[in-house]
Amino acid sequence: MNLLVLGGAGYIGSHFVKLSIELEHSVIVVDNLLTGHKESLPKQAKFYEGDIRDRDFLNKVFKDNTIDACIHFAASSLVGESMKDPIKYFDNNVNGTIVLLEMMAKYDVKKIVFSSSAATYGSHEKMPITEDYETNPTNPYGETKLFMEKMMKWADKAYDIKYVSLRYFNVAGASSDSSIGEDHFPETHLIPIVLQVPLEKREYITIFGNDYLTFDGTCIRDYIHVEDLVDAHIKALKYLEEGNSSEIFNLGTETGFSNLQIVETSRKVTGHKLPMKIGSRRLGDPDKLVATYKKAEKILGWKPTKNIEDIISSAWSFHKKHPNGYKE
Ligand code: UDP
């Protein structure tokens, strides 16, 4: 297939591009490189640098290429930042998706796989979360993802654009050959930050709050390996290719780990003492997010294959090999 990957030079996008090229798809990448890295892209991918909010730019990409489907990773994705600067999130995420859907309608592209988020659900007492849970985001990031899903629902009705929205839980890990991985600046995600301690980039890890309603007081998240995650996108494309209707799926593992358990597992994987301090809560964090993946298993034939040790080990291998990320 001819795939247009928006945000393809980002952490998750680049893993998707790598897999798609290995599967012999033809891949066009659009990325504004604000957080993405051109170095993470294989040379077989055709690359356009630009912002999806830029109509003229995106129009040219659609005009110059034959596109069978879009895979939309292009978004700002930090919960904490979104609490401080919600307008940035509505502008980048919602406006970007408006322009993208406009171009898809104009150029008759009828399929999109969309990166959504567990943050669309907000706080719930009963875990694991199924796709029919109420959506009540506790932060602007989740609100924008929910809004983007709703736009797609109406774009389906009006322009017959079929979508698969994948609600990611916590994505982590790196490619099994350690060639690509997570490189954000500044880094905010738990696993890469924890690994900065054994990499001697920070003295200790601060865990944000230990007074949550969980068994050890720290937040619980459901971590999914980035390679499992991108595999679900390939299955979602196949599902759309077969002419199926628009759907929303959770992508998680049905297993939650507390922040303290992540530190403990990282100690085991790295052999480092990993000093830790408890800090105050980070705004917008729900206590616990764990998904079921039964719907994706039943309909897409997908299930996670890697556990938390695999996730942390692969991230550790990547960071040891690339201590300065893509900068070297
Ligand atoms: N977290 C932490 N210290 C850090 C970074 C993150 O305690 O330096 C916590 C964060 O408050 C949350 C969990 O780790 O409870 C996962 O956060 P992350 O940013 O990795 O993902 P999110 O769940 O926000 O998407």
| Cβ contact 253:185 at 8 Å | no
What is the spatial distance between Cα 295 and Cα 3, in angstroms, rounded to a whole number?
A: 25
Query: What atom in ligand 1 is closest to the CA of residue 118?
Result: 25
In eight-state DSSP terms, residue 129 is: B
Contacts of 183 (CB under 8 A, 6+ apart): 11, 37, 40, 322, 325, 326
pLDDT digits (tens, 9 = 90+) for 136-170: 998 999 999 999 999 999 999 999 999 999 999 99
What is the spatial distance between Cα 59 and Cα 62, in angstroms, rounded to a whole number?
A: 5
Answer yes or no: is the C-beta of 282 below 6 A from any ligand 1 atom.
yes
pLDDT digits (tens, 9 = 90+) for 247-300: 999 999 999 999 999 999 999 999 999 999 999 998 878 899 999 999 999 999
pLDDT confidence of residue 285: 84
Ligand 1 pocket check: which of 204, 221, 274, 308 to mutate, most ligand atoms within 8 Å of Cβ?
221
Nearest CA to ligand 1 atom 11: 208
* pLDDT over threshold 70, residue 3: yes
Q: Comparing C-alpha atoms, which of 32, 10, 148, 37 is closest to residue 89?
A: 148
Catalytic: 141?
yes
Nearest CA to ligand 1 atom 7: 207
* pLDDT over threshold 80, residue 28: yes
Q: Comparing C-alpha atoms, which of 102, 54, 73 is closest to residue 7?
A: 73
The mean of the pLDDT values for the chain is 96
Answer yes or no: is the C-beta of 79 below 6 A from any ligand 1 atom.
yes
Q: What is the mean predicted confidence (pLDDT) over 111-116?
A: 98
pLDDT confidence of residue 328: 65
Nearest CA to ligand 1 atom 25: 170
Task: Provide the percentage of residues in the chain whose pLDDT is more than 90.
Answer: 94
pLDDT confidence of residue 283: 83
* Catalytic residue (one of 89, 121, 141, 212): 141
